[in-house]
Amino acid sequence: MKFRIGISMKGRKVIELNKKVLAVGVFAAGLASFAQYASATEYPLTLENCGRTLTFDQAPNRVVSLGQSSTELLYLLGLADRVVGTAVWLGPVQEEFRQVNETIPRLADNDPSFESVVGQKPDMVATQFQWHIGPNGKVGTIDQFAELSIPVYTAPADCVGKDNTTGGDGTRIDAFSMDQIYQGIADLSKIFDVEERGADLIADFKAREKAAREKVAAVNGKGISALFWFSSAEIDVDPFVAGQKGAPAYVMSILGVENVIDSDDEWPTVGWETIARTNPDIIVIGKMDRRRFPADDWELKMQFLKSDPVTRQMNAVKSGNIVVMDAQSMNPTMRTIDGIETLAKAIEAFEATQ
């Protein structure tokens, strides 16, 4: 498959494309379906992705997907038969895709090698994080793949309004929004000429988000405060908690919940004594299969909160308002919608006890 790649000097084109794609969806007497607006893709297809221009002469047939969210999104779009390799898994695949996922080579649970990716002879690579393929990619750089005529599509949630040249998790300049997830769905469905499926999926996610808002409004759940704890380098050191610009901040903001952490960093480390003084009403802890840090284990998080002399005095701990959430719902992924629903249920339960 032929493709052409170029560098765009207009960094805001991605955001502009996002607005144009989402403009086809409207609410009329509730949520209107996007599907009626879907049309067949015309090739060659050119689109902007993370400041680059990608052109596809046909729909890709062999895709390697790096990142669980990117992989599950391809599955949801009915493209499992195009996926020839996966990597970067935080937890089990969605149950509906368990059988098909077992038939697809898993190149690595975490970071695969460059050789293992290109060895699958992909005509496209989908990556969830520029951490893996980007300015300082652990797997490789965009240029390395371009030299082999392999286009790389990066999830907009990891590049729109974000600087990944700083290393690590990068620096989020603008706050995350589900619009970035919807842009990724729209882009991929267009690349693979399955726009109707993508439109239906976006409509479904929007309907679920609207229902969660209404659930919280029904119990007058605004004004509650919360803390999101992802993990910690050690169980008893300053934890990685959600700041004001990542996915948890979006989840809290649309439900009217106050984030007790006021840092603009996506995942700042904050001391437990400082957190205890904010005394959040609800504490959300991340659950994942990954074991990079001891605190990746949600049960160890729970034990710590209940036994540490500082944390056990917080109201959320004493009253049992601790919510276990899939860590992928705390990342800017399509599972963020699950996080919205999980927190909405927690707010409903919290209000019932007041």
> Has residue 116 got a pLDDT over 70?
yes
- Give the three-class secondary structure for 55: strand
**pLDDT tens per residue, range 257-301:** 999 999 988 899 999 999 999 999 999 999 998 888 999 999 999
> Has residue 18 got a pLDDT over 60?
no
Q: Cα 189 to chain center, whole Å?
A: 17
> Has residue 147 got a pLDDT over 50?
yes
pLDDT of residue 265: 86
**pLDDT tens per residue, range 299-333:** 999 999 999 999 999 999 999 999 999 999 999 99
Domains in the chain: ranges and CATH: 45-193 (3.40.50.1980), 218-352 (3.40.50.1980)
> Has residue 124 got a pLDDT over 50?
yes
Backbone angles phi, psi at 13, to 5 degrees: -65, -35
> Has residue 12 got a pLDDT over 60?
no
DSSP state of 206: H
- Give the three-class secondary structure for 168: coil
DSSP state of 208: H
In the numeric block, the tokens 């090698």 are attached to 113
Please list, in sequence order, all residues whose beta carbon lies within 8 angstroms of the beta carbon of residue 244, skipping any fewer than 6 positions away.
175, 259, 261, 262, 263, 264
Enumerate the β-bridge partners of residue 48.
53
pLDDT of residue 170: 77
Tell me how far apart the alpha carbons of residues 275 and 308 are, in angstroms, rounded to a whole number: 13
Q: List Cα–Cα distances, 354 to 219, 225, 314, 343, in angstroms.
A: 11, 14, 16, 17
Q: List Cα–Cα distances, 152 to 90, 94, 101, 108, 126, in angstroms.
A: 21, 24, 21, 18, 6
**pLDDT tens per residue, range 63-112:** 999 999 999 999 999 999 999 999 999 889 999 999 999 999 999 998 99
> Has residue 14 got a pLDDT over 80?
no
DSSP state of 244: S
Question: In the chain, pLDDT over 70 holds for what percent of residues?
Answer: 89
Report the chain's mean pLDDT, rounded to a whole number: 89
* pLDDT band for position 27 (cuts 50, 70, 90): very low
* pLDDT band for position 231 (cuts 50, 70, 90): very high
Q: List Cα–Cα distances, 57 to 54, 65, 141, in angstroms.
A: 10, 20, 23
pLDDT of residue 290: 83
Residues in the chain: 354
pLDDT of residue 167: 66
The predicted model scores a pTM of 0.85
> Has residue 35 got a pLDDT over 50?
no
